[in-house]
Chain A
C-alpha cells in the first residue's frame, strides 16, 4: 500500500508531524477487505456505533442523575418527566443496552460459525471476549443505578457470588459493598464504575481493531485472501454497506425505543428499592439469562457426590465456577476447536453442532427466566451439560472424524462460480 501524498499544505504539515491522515487513509479508506463479506459482518461496526450512542446518551443522563439511595429513583423519574427529552435519552440508553448485547451475541455467533477465532486471529477473539466481559460488568452496575427493586436485589445476588471465594470471600463482598449490605456506598461506586468501564471498553475496542487490521477480516469462506482480486477497499464498498445496515438496525432500535420502550425491561424495577421486601422472583435482564441458568443448574456436592474430597462444594460455589467458566472458556476456543477449516460452510458435522449449540444457549436463556424447579431445573442441567460438552469435548474431537468439503481455490474463484460460496456473498 502506497503512502498517500497530500496536496493541501495544512494537511501535509500536520501529517508530517502526526500521520493521522495517512492512518485514516490506510485503516478506513484504502483498508483492503475481502469482497465476499455478508451482512453478518455488519455487526462489528454496529457494535462500535452503539457504544458511541451509549456513551453519548449516558453522559447526558449523568448530568441529571443523583447517585444517592434516597434520590436515585426520583432523579431518574425526574429525567423521564421534567428534563427536556430526558425520557428519550433514558429510553435510548436503556434499550441501547439490550441492542448492544443483541449485536454482540450475533457478532460472537458469527465468529463461531465462520471460525473467525482461528489462527492468526486468536488474540483478536480473546480481546473480544474481554470486551464482552467488560460489557457485562458495565451493564450490571448500570442496571443498579435507577435503584429499583431489581437494581437492589440483582446487586445483592450478584455481589454475593464473590462470597464463594475461599477464606476471603465474605471480606471481599463487604469490601465491594463498602459496608455490610448493598447501600449508599455501593450505589456510589457503581455509578463511578459505570462511568469508567465504557472507556475501558473503548480502549479494548481499539486493541480489537488493531488486532483486526493486522490480519484483516475473516470471510464467509474462511480461506485466506490470495491477492487484490479477492479484496475491495473499505471505502466506499463497506462504508456504504455498513451505513445501510445501520439504517435497518436503527429502524428496529428506534421502533423499540419509541413504541415499546419497556418490552425488554423488568417491570418490578419501577418499584423503588426496598431492602425489607424481596421480589417474588429475582430475574436479571434478558441478556444475562443463559448465565443465570448455568449459575442455578448445579446441586450441592455436584463434583464430589461420593464425599471423597475433604471440602464440600455447595451448589452456589459450583454454579459460580461454571458461570464464570462458561465465559472464560471462550478464550480457549481457538485451541479447543482443532479443525483447520474455518468456515462451517465446509464442515458438515460442525455446522449441525453449531445450530444445536445456538439453540442450547437460547434454551438456557429460557430456563434462566423461570424458577429452577422440576422440569425447568432438569432441562437447565441438560442444557448446561451440553454447553460444556460442546466446547470441551465435541469441538476438540469432531475434526478427527469430520470429512470437510473441498475449499474453493480463492475468494474470487468462489464468487464467480455457481457454488455454495456465491450464495454466501450477499450483495
Chain B
C-alpha cells in the first residue's frame, strides 16, 4: 500500500511536470538555448558590472524605441550607481514639467519640460502607442519592464532573440520590412537586428561584441523585471532555515507526545 502510494505520487509529479513543459512550446520558433546566468539558483545574484553595461546598452540602443515603464531613475542605485550618478543620469533626460505659475503645461503646442529627477520614471521614447507605431513601420515596440517574466523561457529568450538574426532560409516568404529571427514566434520580427559589434563603447573597457551586449542587456532587463530578486532569495534562505529548525522541533515533540499512545 505504502509503495503503491509512493509510485502514484511520483507518476503524478512527472505528469504534472510534463504538462507544464508541453504548455510552453511556442509556435514556429526554436526554443532558446539555456544559458548560465549569475542570478539563477537559490544563491544567485546580479553581476553589478554587467548590469551597468546592460544599462548602457539599453540607454544607447534599446531606449530609442523601447520604454522601461516600471523603472524610476532612483532604481538605478540598485545596479551600482551612486546617488550622485543617478541624479546626473536623470538630469540628462527631459520630463514633463507640469503646469507653470500660469497653469500652462504647454507653450505654443510644445510640452514644458524640466530636467529629470531621481523620483521620475524613465522617459518613454514615444508620446503614445500611435506615435510609436508611426515611427516603426506599424509595429509597436513593447515595454521591456517585464520581458524576462513574460516569456516562458525567461531571460534566455531575450538573449536568444537579440542574437537570433539570420538570413531567411531559401523559400521562406518574408513580409516587407520584417527581419528573420530564429527564436521569435513565427520567425518574422519587426525589429531589425538591434546590435552590431561596437554599437556601444563600454565605460569599463569590455569588448562590445554582439554576444556580450546581448548578455549584458539581458541581465539588466532580468533585474528590471525582478528588482526584488536578491532580497527575496536572502530572506527566503532565512525563512527556510527557520522553518526546518521549527519543523524538526515539532517533529520531536510529536514523537514524544505520541510515544505514550502505543
Binding site for B on A (CB under 8 A): 35, 74, 77, 80-81, 87-88, 91, 232, 236-237, 240-241, 243-244, 247-248, 250-251, 254-255, 257-259, 261-262, 267-268, 270-271, 280-281, 283, 286, 289, 345, 355, 358-359, 362-363, 365-366, 368-370, 415, 420, 423-424, 427
Contacts and interface: CB of A to CB of B under 8 A. Distances in A.
Which 9 pairs of residues, A with B, have the shortest CB-CB distance? A258-B236, A247-B247, A270-B150, A366-B19, A369-B23, A87-B228, A244-B250, A270-B149, A270-B146
B247 A248 contact: yes
Nearest to A235: B257
A283 B19 CA distance: 12
Interface stretch (B45-53, B83-91, B105-113, B238-246): B238-246
Contacts of B12: 358-359, 362
Interface stretch (B1-9, B163-171, B189-197): B1-9
Contact of B244 (A240, A251, A365, A366): A251
B261 interface: yes
Interface in B1-45: 1-2, 4, 8, 11-12, 15-16, 18-20, 22-23, 26-27, 42
B114 interface: no
Contacts of B27: 280
Contacts of B240: 251, 254-255, 258
20 contacts: A77-B145, A88-B235, A243-B254, A247-B247, A250-B247, A258-B240, A259-B236, A267-B149, A267-B150, A270-B150, A271-B150, A359-B11, A359-B15, A365-B16, A366-B19, A369-B22, A370-B22, A370-B23, A423-B1, A427-B261
Contacts of A286: 16, 19-20
B178 interface: no
Main secondary structure on A side of the interface with B: helix
Contacts of B115: none
B253 interface: yes
A259 B233 contact: yes
A420 B1 contact: yes
Given A88-B232, A370-B23, 15 more contacts: A81-B227, A81-B228, A240-B253, A240-B257, A244-B254, A247-B247, A254-B236, A254-B240, A258-B237, A271-B150, A281-B23, A286-B19, A289-B19, A355-B8, A358-B8
A243 B258 CA distance: 14
Chain B contact residues, majority secondary structure: helix
Interface of B: 1-2, 4, 8, 11-12, 15-16, 18-20, 22-23, 26-27, 42, 69-70, 75, 142, 145-146, 149-152, 154, 185, 225, 227-228, 232-233, 235-237, 239-240, 243-244, 246-247, 250-251, 253-254, 257-258, 261-262
Contacts of A262: 149
A261 B42 CA distance: 12
A258 B150 contact: no
Contact of A254 (B150, B154, B233, B243): B243
A369 B257 contact: no
Contact of A258 (B149, B239, B251): B239
B4 A267 contact: no
B257 A283 contact: no
Contacts of B239: 254, 258
Contacts of A81: 70, 75, 227-228
Contacts of A369: 19-20, 22-23
A250 B245 CA distance: 12
Contact of A423 (B2, B185, B225): B2
Nearest to B1: A423
B246 A247 contact: yes
B122 to A, nearest CB: 13
A345 B4 CA distance: 12
A254 B247 CA distance: 13
A236 B257 contact: yes
Nearest to B146: A270
